[in-house]
Amino acid sequence: MKTYNLEDLTDKYIGKKGTKKRDEFENELRLDLLGQAIKQARQERNLTQEELGELVGVKKAQISKIENSATDARFTTILKVFEALGARVNFNVELNNRKIAY
């Protein structure tokens, strides 16, 4: 029986790195992880979506959409959410497979 690793399966069914389909898939995955992180942080601070929305200046529905990756939220809104949660945010930027630290 032949075994496959996750990278091989992703290449086969989603597309190889650098293809449009693969880039879209990876961006959606990152947004999903971001939404999960926001939800977890909110719950750890015992805040409802409505309470977090009030802290950020948006409605409960917007927080729900962000947590469920159902919307392309503005970057400034995401930063306000993390600020309201008291979370420190780090970004990594890669250019030509070389990380740039900030």
Task: Summarize pLDDT for 50-93 with one digit per residue, the tens.
Answer: 999 999 999 999 999 999 887 778 888 888 999 999 988 877 76
88: exposed, middle or buried (Cβ count in 10 Å: 0-12, 13-18, 19+): exposed
pLDDT of residue 42: 94
- Token pair for 91: 């970004």
Q: What pTM value is reported for the model?
A: 0.66
Report how far apart the first and last C-alpha atoms of the chain are (Å, whole number). 46
Instruction: Indicate the average pLDDT of the chain.
Output: 85
Q: Domain 6-101: give its CATH code.
A: 1.10.260.40
